[in-house]
Amino acid sequence: MQPMVNPYLDANCKLDDLTQKVNMICDKMSTLDELSKKIYTFDRTVQNLFKTVEKVSKRVDDVEQGMNFINEKFEDVKRDVSDVKGACAGIREDTDFANDAIFRLQKDLDELEFVRKAAKELRETHFGISEQFPKEVNDKRKELWPHFQETRRQRKKAFFKRDRLFIEGVEYCPSKKDDEKRDDYVPRRQYNQQDNLNISRERNSPDDVVNGFGRKLLEYCKSNKVFILNGRVGQDVNAKPTSRNNSVIDYIICTSHFLQFVSNFEIETNQKQWYDKDCNKAKKELRKSQRLYKHYGSNIFKERLRQSEIYFKKVMDDNIKKLNVDMSDNMNKLKNKNPKEFWKLFNKGRQREKSNISIGTLKPVLAEELEQRISDRIPTKTKQSTSWSMSLWKGWAENRNCNPITGFEEFTCEPVDPETASIKELDFWLSRFIMETRRKDGSPYPPNTLLNISAGIQRHLRENKRSEINLLQKNSVDFPTFQKSLDTRMKEVTSAGLGPFYRRPVVKLGLKTSGKPKFSAQVVGVKKLSTYIKTMFDLAGIDHTDRNISNHSGKVTCVTTLYDKGFDNAAVTSRSGHRSNAVETYKRQSVEMNDRISKYLQPPLPRSEVKVEENKENEQSVLIRM
């Protein structure tokens, strides 16, 4: 028997399966929707990332440029950091040294305090411990000791700190009436001298501060029996301050015997007009930098001190310049409006000097003595040169006047004394003179001699009250013909071979034509000759470093060589051209002569054995000392 199948049950199962599948499909569809949304969001995120990457790339480029700039600055900062590290190391060393010093000082103070406390145990014994002070401190403590005892009797707290006495925590100072205003240490006879001159025994003082320096000054006055004139004599009876308008640091001190010679005593207030608050502030900063550098001594404070000095000087210079400008403007205004105030301001601070020379001490100078002294100021050789030039002029003038050609010139008579001629006449005759003058043998003078003759005539004219004469002035308006004539004559003489005889070589032209160097008509200059001398040294292999090599070196070598070879002065001067004994200054000892002198002056050397061997290669004898 077959079982029966319910068709409705199978349909329901299938529907359930289909429903489950549809639900699964719907779930997957919703999942796909979510994925599509995520994909869309992801797409937008990627686009944003692209934009961000572009911005970041631009920013990276900017950062790279910044890094290049930072690297450049980093090198500078690195050097500065190394300098700072070095300065810090110096400060650290100074600090370590200071700490060691402080530690040693503290250790010494601790030991001193331990000894002081242990001194109490020695009471009622024959032993004791006390601190040793210098003599000045001990003397001051002895003076203050009665005040210390009196204070202790009054049951007040008192103690010494070296030479200073403190009562109830306040430093005790003796009354000024005893220590400053009255000179109780002065003997009675000196008081009589003071009273006779109407000089007060009490001294006024605007400075109320008492310190160690003031006490030392009083001790000096007491020990040497001298007086302080400040606040007591002349116009300083009311006692003016000498520093910063509130203290006295400058004193005049003298003995009682010198008081009769004191007529007046006054302290002037000479405050600088340009010194203002800025200068005072810069000065305080400079003093502070000086103290810091003195205390620490490092490079940082040294640099600070240098900057402070520069700033202080700059402020002072600026203020002085400003004051000078204001003063100049003020004087320009007063010059025309108020001349009286102008001269008062101009002469402010000036004092007329009174001559204290008596008439009896003045020695009168006669006219003849005055002329002689004026004449003696001129060197002898200059006088001789001037006299020789004028003798040439007078000889030429006399001969020229005897020549009939002179009668047909513009000026028919040549003046023997040129100081009587006019400028135009001098220009006319000097141009002829410089062209016609000759030696006695008829040969022309060299160019330098012609120039010296012109200078001698000029000196003669100026000495004879013709100071306006200037023959050798370049492009002169008064003597154009003479200057052209002098230049022409010097060139003619030079071309004739009487001047410098060195000619410029024309190497290429000579070698092409005859194979030998030729020389042009152009004269070689002095500077070019100096170059030739140095070139000759180089070609000869002689080192001229740090040596003054010039054209004169050749003459010196020539003269020295002739002297070394035994020639006399006449032979040497005939070759060198010297006219005086100046050639003898070139007598110098040669190296060989110095070597010989040195050998003769040496003591004899001990010789144990002397052997002389023949050197076959060089064919010389060699002395061997054993």
pLDDT tens digits, 3-39: 454 555 667 777 788 888 888 888 878 888 788 888 8
Judged against a pLDDT cut of 70, whether residue 538 lies above it is answered with yes
> For the ranges 33-47, 234-248, 344-358, 435-449, which has the lowest average pLDDT?
344-358
Reduced to 3 states (helix: H, G, I; strand: E, B; else coil), residue 105 is helix
- Closest Cα partner for 254 from 199, 216, 305, 300? 199
pLDDT for 266-277, tens place per residue?
877 656 777 888
Looking at this protein, which amino acid is placed at residue 477?
V
Q: What was the pLDDT predicted at 617?
A: 40
More confident call, 530 vs 499: 530
CB 179 within 8 A of CB 172: no
The H or E element spanning position 217 is: helix 212-224
Reduced to 3 states (helix: H, G, I; strand: E, B; else coil), residue 113 is helix
Task: Please compute, for residue 20, the number of CA atoms within 13 A of its CA located in the half-sphere on the CB side.
Answer: 6
Could you tell me the residue ranges of all domains in the chain?
8-131, 135-261, 277-342, 380-495, 503-601
Q: What angle do CA 146, 152, 156 make, to 5 degrees?
A: 125
Q: What is the mean pLDDT of residues 389-397?
A: 88
Residue position matching structure tokens 């650290």: 92
- Closest Cα partner for 575 from 592, 561, 589, 594? 561
Rounded Cα distance between 407 and 414, Å, is 10
Going by pLDDT thresholds of 50, 70 and 90, the confidence category of residue 310 is: very high
Rounded Cα distance between 333 and 339, Å, is 9
Rounded Cα distance between 337 and 333, Å, is 7
CA distances from 39 to 32, 35, 36, 43, 295 (A): 10, 6, 5, 6, 77
More confident call, 610 vs 210: 210
Going by pLDDT thresholds of 50, 70 and 90, the confidence category of residue 350 is: low
pLDDT for 83-121, tens place per residue?
877 777 777 777 777 777 777 777 777 777 777 777 767
- 225 phi-psi bin (left φ>0, alpha ψ -120 to 50, beta other): left
Q: What is the mean pLDDT of residues 118-131?
A: 70
Torsion of CA 413, 416, 417, 420, to 10 degrees: 0
Residue position matching structure tokens 């000179």: 183
Q: What was the pLDDT predicted at 237?
A: 74
Rounded Cα distance between 564 and 587, Å, is 8
Judged against a pLDDT cut of 70, whether residue 465 lies above it is answered with yes
Joined tokens for residue 166: 């403190």
- 241 phi-psi bin (left φ>0, alpha ψ -120 to 50, beta other): beta
Q: What is the mean pLDDT of residues 506-511?
A: 52
Going by pLDDT thresholds of 50, 70 and 90, the confidence category of residue 589 is: low
Write a three-state SS string for 560-610: HHHHHCCCCHHHHHHHHCCCCHHHHHHCCCCHHHHHHHHHHHCCCCCCCCE
How would you list the strands of the sheet with 170-172, edge to edge?
Answer: 158-161, 164-167, 170-172
Going by pLDDT thresholds of 50, 70 and 90, the confidence category of residue 469 is: confident
The H or E element spanning position 506 is: strand 503-506
Provide the 10 A C-beta neighbour count for residue 421. 20
Joined tokens for residue 523: 């004269």
Judged against a pLDDT cut of 60, whether residue 606 lies above it is answered with no
Residue 503 pairs with which residues in a beta bridge? 523
Q: What residues have CB less than 8 Å from 226, skipping those under 6 apart?
A: 220, 253, 254, 255
The H or E element spanning position 518 is: strand 518-523
In the chain the first and final C-alpha atoms are separated, in Å, by: 158
Q: What was the pLDDT predicted at 311?
A: 92
Q: What was the pLDDT predicted at 515?
A: 57
The H or E element spanning position 227 is: strand 227-228
CB 178 within 8 A of CB 201: no
Q: What was the pLDDT predicted at 213?
A: 82
Q: Are strands 503-506 and 620-625 parallel, antiparallel or unpaired?
A: unpaired
CA distances from 611 to 605, 608, 624 (A): 15, 10, 6
CB 193 within 8 A of CB 256: yes
- Closest Cα partner for 224 from 194, 176, 183? 183
Q: What is the mean pLDDT of residues 477-487?
A: 87
Judged against a pLDDT cut of 60, whether residue 482 lies above it is answered with yes
Rounded Cα distance between 538 and 544, Å, is 8
pTM (predicted TM-score): 0.33
CB 148 within 8 A of CB 171: no
- What is the average pLDDT score of the chain? 76
> For the ranges 233-237, 268-272, 280-284, 478-482, which has the lowest average pLDDT?
268-272
Q: What was the pLDDT predicted at 424?
A: 86
Going by pLDDT thresholds of 50, 70 and 90, the confidence category of residue 394 is: confident
Judged against a pLDDT cut of 50, whether residue 609 lies above it is answered with no
Reduced to 3 states (helix: H, G, I; strand: E, B; else coil), residue 117 is helix
Radius of gyration of the chain measured on its C-alpha atoms: 54
Helix and strand totals (H; E) in the chain:
18, 9
Q: What was the pLDDT predicted at 615?
A: 43
Q: What residues have CB less than 8 Å from 130, skipping those under 6 apart?
A: 119
Judged against a pLDDT cut of 80, whether residue 446 lies above it is answered with yes
Judged against a pLDDT cut of 80, whether residue 602 lies above it is answered with no
Q: What is the mean pLDDT of residues 60-71?
A: 76
Judged against a pLDDT cut of 60, whether residue 485 lies above it is answered with yes
Judged against a pLDDT cut of 50, whether residue 622 lies above it is answered with no
CB 122 within 8 A of CB 129: yes
Q: What is the mean pLDDT of residues 147-161?
A: 82
More confident call, 618 vs 77: 77
